Every structure is written in structure tokens, then in C-alpha cells.
């Protein structure tokens, strides 16, 4: 099983990218600009083909107005797919991964359990959910497993190893 080790800031950026891609698959294209602004850390002001300088809100609308009819001809300008609709395909998996990361951040930041940022993902994809593990807790578990394994190996070698049967049982019981 692959593992990714990252800082909280990196986990947030992964969450933001997952949310952006998920929203894009649902036809919510204006969110794309907002995410880019968050990643860059500054607002967009762009000179558009019509000569106007636009901020995020008008730029997002402008992009959606131009691109959405091409990518999603079946959706009207303010319409998007829901996360439970099959039309978004693997966007459901993206949503679930984003929600797991969002819950991790909400728990770490002590958000109330009934907040918008902390709820279980709607499990539409039926794929296994990702897990966010606290590395310190995982390292403690690995050390305990190694200690128990060494004690067991010494126990198998017999009394010459210096480990008594009772000591191994106590160690294994605490594991």
C-alpha cells in the first residue's frame, strides 16, 4: 500500500487540488479560479479579450461563460452535476478523498463536528476511502511490533536467549 508523508500545509494543498478537480468534473468551473488564487496567494486581475480588467468573480464567470458550453453542453449556465450522479465518473472518488482530508484538518483545527467542513463523505463510489494517519502514532505502533517480534524470536530460541516465557506473554499482552 503506498503511503504519502506530507506536512499539514501540503495536505491542505492536496485537498484544494482534489476539490478543484472534483468541482470541475461537476461543471463548477468558477471554483477553478478561486483555487488558483488561494494557491498563488493573490487575487487575479486579468485583461480579458473584451478589453476589461476583471477580478476573480467576473473572471470566473467569464471563463464559465466561454468554456462551460463546450465541456458541458447539457448544463445551463448556473447548473452543475451533483456528487452522486454517475456523469461525474471518478469525480466521486476525488470528492471522497477531499472530504477525508478536510475532516482531518477540521479535527486538527478543533472545528465542531456538525460544521460544514466536518462530515463523513457520501460514499457513492464504493471504493475504499483513504486514511490520514498521524505519523507519530504509527511510529509507536511499528516500534511495539518490532519489540514483540524480537521477544518472540528470542523466546523461540529457548532459555539460552535470556527471555522467560512469562516476560514474552506480558509483552505480547500489552501490545
**pTM of the entire structure?**
0.65
DSSP SS3 for 3: coil
Residue 139 reports pLDDT greater than 90: no
The model's pLDDT over 80-133, given as tens digits with 9 standing for 90+, comes to 999 888 888 888 999 999 999 988 888 888 877 777 767 777 888 888 888 887
Q: Domain-by-domain residue ranges, the chain?
A: 8-131, 136-174
What pLDDT does residue 108 have?
Answer: 82
Among 43-57, 71-85, 117-131, where is mean pLDDT lowest? 43-57
* Backbone angle region of 45, left / alpha / beta, with phi > 0 → left and psi within -120 to 50 → alpha: beta
Alpha carbon dihedral 46, 48, 54, 56, in 10-degree steps, equals: -70
- pLDDT computed for residue 70 by the predictor: 92
What percentage of the chain has pLDDT greater than the value 90? 11
Amino acid at each position: 500500500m503506498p503511503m504519502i508523508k506530507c506536512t499539514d500545509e501540503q495536505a491542505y494543498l492536496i485537498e484544494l487540488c482534489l476539490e478543484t478537480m472534483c468541482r470541475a468534473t461537476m461543471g463548477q468551473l468558477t471554483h477553478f479560479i478561486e483555487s488558483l488564487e488561494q494557491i498563488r496567494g493573490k487575487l487575479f486581475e486579468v485583461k480579458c479579450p473584451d478589453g476589461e480588467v476583471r477580478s476573480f468573480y467576473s473572471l470566473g464567470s467569464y471563463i464559465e461563460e466561454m468554456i462551460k458550453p463546450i465541456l458541458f453542453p447539457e448544463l445551463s449556465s448556473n447548473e452543475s452535476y451533483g456528487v452522486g450522479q454517475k456523469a461525474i465518473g471518478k469525480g466521486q472518488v476525488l470528492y471522497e478523498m477531499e472530504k477525508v482530508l478536510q475532516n482531518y484538518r477540521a479535527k486538527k483545527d478543533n472545528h465542531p463536528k456538525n460544521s460544514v467542513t466536518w462530515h463523513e463523505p457520501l460514499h457513492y463510489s464504493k471504493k475504499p476511502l483513504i486514511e490520514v494517519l498521524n505519523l507519530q502514532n504509527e511510529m509507536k505502533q511499528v516500534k511495539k511490533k518490532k519489540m514483540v517480534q524480537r521477544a518472540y524470536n528470542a523466546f523461540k530460541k529457548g532459555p539460552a536467549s535470556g527471555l522467560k516465557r512469562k516476560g514474552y506473554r506480558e509483552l505480547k499482552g500489552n501490545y
